[in-house]
Amino acid sequence: MPLLPLIADFLASRATRKPSPHTLAAYRRDLVAVAVLVAGRDPAALPRSGPLPAPDPLAGVCVDAFTGRALRAAFARFAAPRAAASVQRAWSTWNSFFTFLVGEGVVAGNPMLAVARPASQVPLPKPLRGEQTPERLLAAVAVPDGRQRDPWPERDLAVLGLALCAGLRLAELLALRTGSVSGRPGERRVEVAGKGGRVRMIPVEPELDALVEAYLDSRRRRFGARSVEVGGALLVDRWGAPLRRGGLQYLVESCYRRAGVTDRVPRGARLHALRHTFATRLAEDGASASEIMRLLGHASLASSQNYIEVTAGQQRAAIRANRTNRVLGTLLGVPGG
């Protein structure tokens, strides 16, 4: 059978899980990138995004060509210039694709079993550096900045508070509605739509609840009572429109700049540094891996355990930096003292 219609059917089947457009695009990109190698086409001719060029490099390619031997050779070429995480993602995509084809009765077996899978590595947490950095960030953002075109500290604090005190991802923040925070006083919770459609309820302490209410009050003053009707986006821009991905990232980066803490944000973390700070402080204060897993919406306990292990390492590093230890080392002739 021709490959391209099967890829289209697979992507349509994945769409029922409500992945983001970025995720669906990544599935298609990984499938095409390896397929052109199996088909002996030139991967350099592929666009980085968008439709395939004409003539289509995969036109006439059939699924029968994708044997274990062919896929092993293609993945070896695919892996050479790429990081292990990218190869791992592509392997998972192709494995899911052939699992789908087996279920549909298109092929008899999954040839990906013959392709070695890269070792899975849990990325290290990237919290904000500095013990008082979160407090410094919040204190700076709470004060209106005259350099801004339209200061809105209540909204900015709500964003930071939901990330630092509830550990929400960027996509989870954008998905919040005005009715997502609910419950009786003292028992408030925020309903979060996480990865894979998993919904979790995170307890909201009175301080965060007050922060969100102050933001909604300021929004009523700006745009009127109808702007906070249940069902609308919780986080909006300065015109009252729902915040988008780029706008939210820019907002958080501007908060870092105003607080003068850009040098304390791990490279590549941006908003995720706030979520990692939330999780790291949970671990430092004695939360178990299973508690962190539930609060962060992790699918694997290993991801949550990583925060506890890193925190233990940070504590060891702090002890090692103690000047008294260095004095003792000098007195006793211990190497490194």
pLDDT category, 336, cuts 50, 70, 90?
A: low
> How many other CB atoms are there within 10 angstroms of residue 299's CB atom?
11
d(CA 83, CA 118) in angstroms, rounded, equals 10
Q: Is 46 exposed, middle or buried (CB count within 10 Å of its CB: 0-12, 13-18, 19+)?
A: middle
What domains, with CATH codes, occur in the chain?
3-114 (1.10.150.130), 133-268 (1.10.443.10)
Region of poorest pLDDT, from 107-111, 167-171, 197-201, 300-304: 300-304
Inform me whether the pLDDT recorded for 111 exceeds 70. yes
Of 81-85, 109-113, 276-280, the least confident: 81-85
Q: Are 129 and 277 in contact (CB under 8 A)?
A: no
Q: Could you tell me if residue 232 is left (phi over 0), alpha (psi between -120 and 50 degrees) or otherwise beta?
A: beta
- Using one digit for the tens of pLDDT, what is the confidence trace for 140-183? 999 988 788 889 999 999 999 999 999 999 999 999 999 999 99
> Residue 240: its pLDDT value, please?
95
Measured between its terminal Cα atoms, the distance across the chain in Å is 69
The tens digit of pLDDT for each residue in 1-24 reads 888 899 999 999 988 777 777 788
**Residue with the larger pLDDT of the pair 124 and 241:** 241
pLDDT at residue 46, as a whole number: 54
Q: How far apart are CA 279 and CA 2, in angstroms?
A: 47
pLDDT in the model for residue 165: 92
| pLDDT at residue 45 in the model | 53
Phi-psi category of residue 74: left, alpha or beta, with phi > 0 → left and psi -120 to 50 → alpha: alpha
Instruction: Select the more confidently predicted residue: 291 or 139.
Output: 139
* pLDDT on residue 232: 93
User: What are the tokens at 26?
Assistant: 């990544």
Distance from C-alpha of 249 to C-alpha of 243, rounded to nearest angstrom = 10
CA dist 262 and 247 (Å) reads: 18
Token pair 């509605």 in the structure block, residue: 177
Active site residues: 169, 195, 272, 275, 298, 307
| Rounded CA separation 163/177 (Å) | 15
3-state SS class at 193: strand
Q: What is the pLDDT of residue 320?
A: 55
Upper half-sphere CA count for residue 70 (Cβ side, 13 Å): 15
Condensed to tens digits (0 to 9), the pLDDT of residues 188-230 reads 999 998 877 788 999 999 999 999 999 999 999 999 999 999 8
What number is the average pLDDT over the span 250-270?
92
